[in-house]
Amino acid sequence: MPSPARRFSTDRFLFGGDYNPEQWPEEVWHEDVALMRRAGVNAATVGVFSWAALEPAEGVYEFGWLDRVVEVLHAGGVGVVLATPTASPPPWFTRAHPDAMPVGPDGVRLSHGSRDTYAVSAPAYRDACREIVQRLAERYGSHPALLAWHVHNEYGTLDWGEHAAAAFRRWLQRRYGTLTELNRAWYTSFWSQRYGDWEDVLPPRATQYLANPAQVLDFKRFSSDEMLQALREQRDVIRATGSAAPVTTNFMLPTWNHLEQWSWSAELDLVSVDHYLDTVGPDGETHAAYGADLTRSFGQGDPWLLMEQSSTSSTVPGRRAHKSPDRVIRNSLSYLARGSQGALFFQWRAPAAGSEAWHGGIVPHTGAGSRSFRGFEQLGAVLTAIAEAAEPPAEGPLVEADVAVLWHAEGWWATDAPQLPSDLLDYSSTVRAAHRALWQAGYAVDFAAPGADLSRYRLVLVPSMFALDGQAVRRLEEHLAAGGHLAVWPFTGYADEDLHVVPGGYPGRLRHLLGLHVEELHPLAAGDEVLLESDGTGPLRGRVWSELVVPDGAEVLAAYAGGGLDGKAALTRHRVGAGVAHYVSTFLDEEPLRRWLTAVCEQSGARPVLGAPAPEGVEVVRRRGARADHLFVLNHSGVPVRVTGPGTNLLTSSPADAGLRVEPRGWAVLRTTERDGWSAEALEA
Ligand code: GLA
């Protein structure tokens, strides 16, 4: 990653969010900036969907309003994260270039009237993007208020039309070279799909029955690469103007997934993300941590930026659920603890109308006299008080983790295919469950790409990864040879990168490491469960999956208890050189998963953040810093907690040596230079 990212906003955490002044009369802008100052807001993301306001007709530009917005913000001490408006071409563009509208797999071409409606491979769209970006970069690229470039917004519009078809063929020619190789990889001898001419090759459009899974996977790979190329073009236009501000684009995590984030992150100065909680229940805290750890990992452990989180409400099925001010603060601190350089929100001011009129804002419909606005003022004060924690260490990652989870978009894409052994296989829930278990047990976690260097980790988890390439397997072999531990879930390593199943028993690519082979798959019906022999503390219950495991050297730690697999191996361990490979042959429920993983962590020598598990519902994260580290203690529980150790709370200046009380749903941020000597305990309510 280029160096500007490493040094991004090191003297303070950014606070603010999407700002859409084009929706409001100019006098409101002045009120906005006055309120921003009151709340301590120091960053506004401007221009995200402003193309029609900036270029109301082809070649007619109106930058005057944006000039004034930038000046008003700058005069108020608010920095600008300037977006390129390319996520939403104006209606005149789509009428001039109807071929630049995306086409669905069913052949239906979409129209304007919403947003994100463009065919990313259409030359007219790409030319228009470069043109508007050039003008923006020339005009604002060296403005002192400019904090960063926010290219596009949440890339993710797929296209199955004629431009996509041509670009897909070019991509396939680069990947495979010859049609013979493509036919081999796609296994086209099946169902008479053999291709004799490149022109016959299409995106996976609507067809009579099941599509070819390899074609579908390649189309997803291609779509990610094609959008990445569009991003690179904008980035290069910006850089060519001499603008020194870091370039980012906001990923959307982790509810949908059209990008292969490892390759994208390598092209960005600064990785950023929009993260929306998937629940308003207590589990929302583990979700925030999951999104944050993923994003930091995409950026190789460097500082990153939370570009959006919801402000006053969260979208959950069927309603907009209220988000309490204390939760907003604790979530924000969780993102910062895990490496974000700021807490930005969607959005500054709740819109008066439009399809997101109810998505809330730092300034809600009820105005700045509200409880929620006071909550944001409190957040501003907290961020000011902990500003010193924004400075990253001179060397090494912001968060030190002994445990890594392998993560790749392709694991998700491959598991989305129909007609797998079970429709209940769910990549992202499986990974999330593993991460949640480690959160509960108090361990810091990184994610790692298959094939990446794993040498800094004691333990590597692979919570399902259907296809693994040779490099990914070699890295796991090296990890074990060096004395590391590995833990593997079902439906991992069955296939190579072309989705060809490795013969001879599952998981073909990992049999030698796990010391076993799987002879039969016994997927379970929804709601069914399997029991494993007790580990001494309680039942081990699994769902979704079971299988007939035949040990080839692995030690059996627990067998299935009852049912058709009664007495057969369920949980195993295999010594490989100096390392140990653990295997679980079902998807364990939350509590047993935590017990199993805690035991695996302990065996591997991984160390929890506090040296011992934190009390239930208490999140402790150590963010490394330049002169000291900072221990973020977030008490999501309903009882007070006492934290004791060699540090001082930045928010109260109270030392923690003799114990520091953290109220229910409260927080503390402690400056410390010591790794050891920390403990936390729950107090009586
Ligand atoms: C996204 C987008 C925003 C807005 C919010 C709604 O993440 O980037 O423009 O649509 O969600 O909550």
Residue among 49, 346, 356, 362 whose CB has most ligand 1 atoms within 8 A, to mutate? 346
pLDDT for 538: 84
- Determine the atom of ligand 1 nearest the C-alpha atom of 154: 8
pLDDT for 424: 97
pLDDT for 310: 96
pLDDT for 2: 43
Copy the structure tokens of residue 498: 């072309």
Residue whose CA is at the smallest distance from ligand 1 atom 1? 274
- Is 251 a pocket residue for ligand 1 (Cβ < 6 Å)? no
pLDDT for 3: 53
**Considering only CA atoms, which of 447, 85, 102 is closest in space to residue 254?**
447
Averaged pLDDT of the chain: 96
Strand order in the sheet with 272-275: 247-248, 146-150, 79-83, 43-46, 14-19, 340-345, 304-308, 272-275, 250-253
- Is 154 a pocket residue for ligand 1 (Cβ < 6 Å)? yes
CA of 389 to the centre of ligand 1 (A): 28
Copy the structure tokens of residue 199: 């022109």
Q: Which tens digit of pLDDT belongs to each residue from 520-542?
A: 999 999 999 999 998 888 889 99
The residues near 170 (Cβ < 8 Å, ≥ 6 apart) are none
- Determine the atom of ligand 1 nearest the C-alpha atom of 274: 7
Q: What percent of the chain has pLDDT over 90?
A: 95
Mean pLDDT to the nearest integer, 462-476? 97
Q: Which tens digit of pLDDT belongs to each residue from 471-491?
A: 999 999 999 999 999 999 999
**What three-state secondary structure class fits 201?**
coil
Q: Which tens digit of pLDDT belongs to each residue from 546-564?
A: 999 999 999 999 999 999 9
Handedness of CA 361, 367, 371, 374 (dihedral sign): positive
Mean pLDDT to the nearest integer, 128-146? 98
Q: Which tens digit of pLDDT belongs to each residue from 581-619?
A: 999 999 999 999 999 999 999 999 999 999 988 999 999
DSSP class per residue in 397-428: -SS--SEEEE--HHHHHHHTSSSSS-TT--HH
CA of 252 to the centre of ligand 1 (A): 9
Residue whose CA is at the smallest distance from ligand 1 atom 10? 356
- Is 274 a pocket residue for ligand 1 (Cβ < 6 Å)? yes
Tell me: pLDDT of 389 over 80.
yes
Residue among 22, 23, 86, 154 whose CB has most ligand 1 atoms within 8 A, to mutate? 154
pLDDT for 279: 86
Residues annotated as part of the active site: 154, 308
CA of 454 to the centre of ligand 1 (A): 35
**Considering only CA atoms, which of 22, 6, 69, 73 is closest in space to residue 43?**
73
Contact 354, 20 (CB under 8 A): no
- Is 359 a pocket residue for ligand 1 (Cβ < 6 Å)? yes
- Is 308 a pocket residue for ligand 1 (Cβ < 6 Å)? yes
- Is 356 a pocket residue for ligand 1 (Cβ < 6 Å)? yes
Task: Please tell me the distance from the alpha carbon of residue 35 to that of residue 377, in angstroms, as a whole number.
Answer: 9
Predicted structure pTM score: 0.97
DSSP class of 561: -
**What three-state secondary structure class fits 657?**
coil
**Considering only CA atoms, which of 40, 1, 75 is closest in space to residue 385?**
40
Residue 5 confidence class, pLDDT cut points 50, 70, 90? low
- Is 346 a pocket residue for ligand 1 (Cβ < 6 Å)? yes
Residue 1 confidence class, pLDDT cut points 50, 70, 90? very low
- Beta-sheet pairing, 403-406 with 540-543: unpaired
Q: Which tens digit of pLDDT belongs to each residue from 198-239?
A: 999 999 999 999 999 999 999 999 999 999 999 999 999 999
- Is 153 a pocket residue for ligand 1 (Cβ < 6 Å)? yes
